[in-house]
Chains A and B, each alone.
Chain A
Amino acid sequence: MTKPLLDVRDLRVTFQIRREGAMPWTAPTPLHAVGGVDFSLNPGETLGVVGESGCGKSTLARALIGLVPATGRAEWIDGKDLVAMTPRQMMRYRSDIQMVFQDPLASLNPRMTVGQIIAEPLKTHRPGLSSAEVKTRVKAMMEKVGLLPNQINRYPHEFSGGQCQRIGIARALIVEPKLIICDEPVSALDVSIQAQVINLLIRLQKELGLALVFIAHDLSVVKHISDRVMVLYLGKVMEIGSSDDLFADPQHPYTQALLSAVPVPDPDHDVAGSVVPLSGDLPSPMNPPSGCVFRTRCPRAQAACAEQVPALMGQDHRTACHFPGPLTEEEIARARKTEAA
């Protein structure tokens, strides 16, 4: 078995939230944005991460890259723990792990030219390069991501959203990383552009042997690109497995609800008849339900679900549910009824 590029164990991020206007001596409320996430990622592999917005996907990404303090372990391929590193030690790994952001325009400094933006990581990590060399590499990278190299002196506002995301990708790739974390890289783009950007990522990944953590808030985007998929809910892993397994045979009620909402390109498929609605709102992460965090919206919830936190069980396809398995007709009908009520 190959050694994983990144092996994450029990990663947690807790924010201390002070309520507005609270007295200075009252203790802040802890918000468990990421509550103990486990996964491993092999070199060249893509892990899709899905979950509703607010479930801690971005926080997970930011924790991996050392932008927010976290606890737990995130072991890099050389055996070093990224979480325990000081900023100075982390510096060496920053060129190995790069990030692509959600809002393509907002992630580019409006006062810098495309060339300056793409060159920044290069100048930070390879200070010895001459400026002519930097320019050549930047232009080659622009070509690679499908931008015209002669646009090097343009500013971000002169580009479309899709092109801006290409700039973001070029910036991430210029230091030849081993892992790129894409935080909803296509959520802000038009559907027609989304496919282009995803295909670009797939092509580059094959060419360069990159590992990807690909975050999205719906499964349809992830399906196309991921080798494995991890489903998050309120900062916890609900289900993780190979893409084929998870889409063909989802075990967790939450995954099934998410999957049922994915449009299927089949004219005979009765969409309205198969959707499992998610009743109720996402609970506040400051006050999560006891036991299984999904129980307030689960059509299969039982008394046991409120008492014990379900552990992530299984070998390759792991599920955190006391009663895994496909939803029955009855349960789907029950979910509809609660939704209607």
Chain B
Amino acid sequence: MVIQQDKMQSLAARMAQDEVKGRSPWADARKRFFRNKAAMTGLIILIAVALFALLGGYFAQWSNEDLDFAVMGQVATMGAPSLENGHYFGTDDLGRDLFARTVQGTQISLMVGIVGAAIAVIVGTLYGATAGYVGGRTDQIMMRAVDILMSIPYMFVLILLLVMFGRSIAMLFLGIGLISWLDMSRIVRGQTLSLKNREFIEAARATGVPSWKIILRHIVPNLLGVVAVYATLLVPLMILTESFISFLGLGVQEPLTSWGALISEGAGTMNYGTLWQLAFPLFFFVITLFGFFFVGDGLRDALDPKDR
């Protein structure tokens, strides 16, 4: 009896001990990511661009819609970037402040990229994980549907949609969202197939965890690495798509603008000595793409399963 009591006490003491904090695989990946110089540079660039989009408006001396009558008509001589008249990035061909317009274009382009990638992540992950996990006929039908959607020349359809239903941001998001998840669902399905036969999934099935819970609790968290990498590479792809459409003159509508639209305008007036109209939007466009690619690369290295 005495011994028993001793045992119980030591048990109670051990049960009450402070819980040790675990080192999750995410924390490990984060540490590796922060050690990666290229990825950190990319991340800092992206943060700077995001801050520019969010806070740039407060520093603008001009609104993005107002015409500066002082420079109108003589943009090539008067509209160059200058601190004195408040046009930090100069003006566009109509005399609108290019700084304010670049801020706005950055907002729109980033939003298009992030919303597109977000749709891809949510829809593509759930769709692909379900197809891969359920398998069999369901999988075949679901993936055949993706094949069919992929075989449609989506740029053509998107342009058609924009022409038919008018150009609007909502339409653009819809069009980009519709196609962006296809690749993601394929990648996720492939990963799911290889995860499905791992023993921990079998263990969950053996105790009778329902399928939807297995997908959400066991499959998806183990896919997130791949999804995160692919999503960071998808954002610039979406930005490029939008820019291409805007470059064709079918993207966002005035007075809204985007990097694509600004670059298009800048390229149109390149020969008139107003190079800054091309240079500023292009600069932001290029560094952002690089930023995303670096971050995506760094994420891939950090989440590399071989290291785990």
Contacts and interface: CB of A to CB of B under 8 A. Distances in A.
Is B truly associated with A? yes
Interface of A: 62, 65, 67, 90-91, 94-95, 98-99, 101-103, 106-114, 120-121, 124-125, 136, 139-140, 143, 148-155, 157-158, 168, 171, 175
Contact of A121 (B11, B25, B202, B207): B207
Given A121-B207, A148-B14, A155-B24, A106 B198 contact: yes
Contacts of B199: 101-103, 106-107
Interface in B1-40: 11, 14-15, 17-26
Contact of A153 (B14, B19, B207, B308): B19
Contacts of A120: 204, 207, 209
Interface range on chain B: under 10, 10 to 19, 20 to 34, or 35 or more? 20 to 34
A143 B11 contact: yes
Nearest to B17: A150
A98 B21 CA distance: 29
B206 A109 contact: no
B203 interface: yes
A148 to B, nearest CB: 7
Nearest to A149: B15
Nearest to B221: A111
Contacts, number: 96
B222 interface: yes
Interface in B217-250: 217-218, 221-222
A67 B199 CA distance: 12
Contacts of B15: 136, 139-140, 143, 149
Given A110-B222, A143-B15, A150-B18, A98 B206 contact: yes
Tell me the interface secondary structure of chain B in the complex: helix
A154 B20 contact: yes
A94 B208 contact: yes
* 8 shortest interchain CB distances as A-B pairs: A107-B199, A154-B22, A94-B208, A111-B221, A150-B17, A121-B207, A153-B22, A106-B199
A62 B217 CA distance: 22
A155 B14 CA distance: 20
A139 B17 CA distance: 11
B205 interface: yes
A65 B11 CA distance: 34
Nearest to A181: B206
Nearest to A91: B208
Contact of A95 (B22, B26, B207, B222): B207
Contacts of A148: 14, 17
